[in-house]
Amino acid sequence: MKKSRAPAITVAVLLVGGCVAPFAISSFHTFQLTQILIYAIALLGLNLLTGYSGQISLGHGAFYGIGAYAAAILLDHAWLPYWATIPVAGAVCFAVGFGFGLPALRLEGPYLALATFALAIATPQILKHDALEKWTGGVQGILLDKPEPPGLLAGPLDADQWLYFLCLVFVVVSYVIGWNLVRGRTGRALIAIRDQPIAAAAMGIDTALYKSTTFGLSAMYTGVAGALGALLTGFVSPDSFTILVSINFLVGVVVGGMASILGNLFGALFIVIVPNIASDISESAPWAIYGALLILIMILMPRGFAGMVRAVAARRG
């Protein structure tokens, strides 16, 4: 009984703490927490692809950038309300991800990773192209206004707190959908494809459809995160979506734990907070400190944060 209640209690504590946090901390730390929530959505999308279906991607920074630019262009040229740009950005990234996933079905393992790596390299260059400068702003990017709280919320909440709660709502919805997805028929099919693809195909699972759809769904999550990230920073430019973004996402998934839902929150916390800690320790070589901390965590938690939690729970059980 205690074991079955533990996840529900954990989620309840996280939700209560998440609702109280922006009223107890500064605007800067609220900004950081919002960034963690946004990255948590992106990491969930990548974990669905890599952790559950076994497809390695080094290009999800491209989908993050596409989602951010989709929201920015709609705000700057179509004058849509900011909240409407978020699902549209997700839909655009789903279409791009599904389209990319179809030819990528011929690739597996490191070959797929290289293809997605090429996507991450090419996307910023495409966004800088002169032919798209009218829409993307070229190397200068696009400036955006930060959303203000609507109606009666304008009094008790400032702009930073409102955007935080908006992101919190998207996190809850995204994680509920992801949780049900991986624990249903689709999740079992993805795990079967990941572990035994030949046996899965022999049992009648349409591996091509599942892989392509998962790629599209993963890109959609990342695109939604990108749109929220654009609203948070109020600025998008091609140089904001380099290959480092994709690598950070993969690091977050590994640190949080492969094939884990809640572990992505810890992974997002790591990729937002640890670089700042590394900079505080050494301004001259922050990435050396970051790498050392990452190696230490991988030694202490070889299966990520979620794997450590499972191991502790198994020992106590």
The predicted model gives 100-119 an average pLDDT of 85
pLDDT score for 4 = 57
The predicted model gives 70-74 an average pLDDT of 95
pLDDT score for 146 = 87
pLDDT score for 118 = 94
Confidence of residue 70 (pLDDT cuts 50, 70, 90): very high
Question: In degrees rounded to 5, what are phi and psi of residue 143?
Answer: -90, 140
pLDDT at 1 over 80: no
Give me the percent of the chain exceeding a pLDDT of 90.
Answer: 64
- CATH value at residue 58: 1.10.3470
Structural domain containing residue 132: 2-316
pLDDT score for 317 = 63
Confidence of residue 245 (pLDDT cuts 50, 70, 90): very high
Q: Please indicate whether residue 134 or residue 314 has the higher confidence score (pLDDT).
A: 134
pLDDT at 201 over 80: yes
pLDDT tens for each residue of 8-45: 788 889 999 999 999 999 999 999 999 999 999 999 99
**Residues 216 and 18: beta-carbon distance below 8 Å:** no
pLDDT score for 250 = 94
3-state secondary structure of 236: strand
Averaged pLDDT score across all residues of the chain: 91
Q: Is the dihedral of CA 46, 250, 241, 294 positive or negative?
A: positive
* Distance from C-alpha of 250 to C-alpha of 133, rounded to nearest angstrom: 30
pLDDT at 3 over 60: no
pLDDT score for 144 = 93
* Distance from C-alpha of 16 to C-alpha of 10, rounded to nearest angstrom: 10
pLDDT score for 2 = 47
- Looking at the structure of the chain, the number of domains it has is 1
